Amino acid sequence: MDFVEIARFNSRLEAESIGHALDQYGIPFLVQSADVGMFGPGMIGSSPAGAQLLVPEDRLDEVQELLNCVVGAGPANERERLRAILAERSYQRREVTLASGRKSDFYFDSKQTVLDAEGAYLTARVFFQEIAALPEFERLRAIGGLELGSVPIGAALSVVSHQAGEPLAHLVIRKQPKEHGTRAAIEGADLIDPGSSVVVIEDVVTTGGSSLRAARRLVEEGFEVETLVTLIDREEGGREAIEAAGFRLVSLFTRSDFA
């Protein structure tokens, strides 16, 4: 069977996601990447290096027709669709008092997006795309955050990571240790080895206080934390505080994307 190039993508993750979509129609595929060469459906990669998607030459016409549909649901459009959902359901122009005690004339109610089936799926997909591009990705064993905002994101993200062949455990950091049963402060911590690398996830960053609390709790428990990833950065000093504390902040969106 002869394989020929049908499309090029900016990352292996993008090429693989489209290839697996074609695979559902019984169309085999290969991905060729400069860093690892040629590989097939069972070898999910994580390098941000560009990649080519190859399909059987005798099915080019069929693939091209399907690709017009599949690419429409690809990573770039997933991010834009997620932004549209957030703008419609979660971004609110009204007077509110934030968890930090600050007054604001706008509010992000992330739960209106991440508790919806499509919103949860897209949030997890875009989170995973960002996490897969992190320098420490090969060492990552888990994602986790402070209850409650990070919990629905973490649950969906863990499932998406498994689907991508790069399973990440989901840790839930309690605001107060459980007072009965296991008395756990971090749920899921026993799923990974001591000292494992963990990425902190968050729904909204304002001052950075909650995210830093989660990161420091994980470090105190012996885990390695380099990066915090948030759905929304309100651009109110959180990035500066997080970076001053020695961590990296990656935001899927900022307030400027909705203003």
113: pLDDT strictly greater than 80? yes
Residues 50 and 105 both lie in one domain: no
3-state secondary structure 108-150: ECCHHHHCCHHHHHHHHHHHHHHHHCCCCHHHEEEEEEECCCC
Q: Which of 4-13, 82-91, 147-156 has the lowest mean pLDDT?
A: 4-13
Instruction: Report the mean per-residue pLDDT for the chain.
Output: 84
Residues 66 and 122 both lie in one domain: no
Tell me the CATH number at 22: 3.30.70
Residues 6+ apart with CB under 8 A from 136: 197, 199, 226, 227
Out of 22, 53, 73, pick the residue that ends a domain. Answer: 73
Name the domain count of the chain: 2
DSSP label at residue 72: G
41: pLDDT strictly greater than 50? no
199: pLDDT strictly greater than 60? yes
Tell me the CATH number at 155: 3.40.50.2020
Residues 45 and 141 both lie in one domain: no
Cβ 49 vs Cβ 34: under 8 Å: yes
Cβ 177 vs Cβ 191: under 8 Å: no
Give residue 100's pLDDT.
65
Question: Between 154 and 166, where is the model more confident?
Answer: 154
Out of 42, 73, 104, pick the residue that ends a domain. Answer: 73
Structural domain span for residue 143: 78-257
Give residue 177's pLDDT.
64
Residues 110 and 216 both lie in one domain: yes
Tokens of 193: 């080895």
Cα 92 to Cα 213: distance, rounded to the nearest angstrom = 26
pLDDT digits (tens, 9 = 90+) for 172-193: 998 876 655 556 789 999 999 9
Burial code (b: 16+ CB inside 10 Å, e: under 16) for 74-103 equals bbeebbebbbebbeebbbeeeeeeeeeeee
pTM above 0.75, yes or no: no
